[in-house]
Amino acid sequence: MRGRTTLEDAETMALNALGFLIDSPENLERLMTQSGMDGSTIRQRAAERDFLAAILDFLMANEELLLDFCQTTGTDPKAVQMAGHILGGA
């Protein structure tokens, strides 16, 4: 993301982060364990802004995971933080 981050940019980043987590069974399991959600609930909530903010919060809560996501996707960690803020997260 360059320039000003929009709500659409933030939602896209969160969906990319969710895809990143889904691609890793270990990380997906950790997300489901910490959130108490199963795969069906995650699919149902994937378009909700508060859920997307929670995905970015989950990512930012684990520095190693955050850095892996950023390296894999070529994303600046500050952009993840900004997207989380825009979506209403921490």
> Along the 90 residues of the chain, how does pLDDT read in single tens digits?
456 889 999 999 999 999 999 999 999 999 999 999 999 999 999 999 999 999 999 999 999 999 999 999 999 999 999 999 999 855
What pLDDT is recorded for position 2? 54
What pLDDT is recorded for position 62? 94
The set of residues, in sequence order, having a beta carbon less than 8 Å from that of 41 and lying 6+ positions away, is none
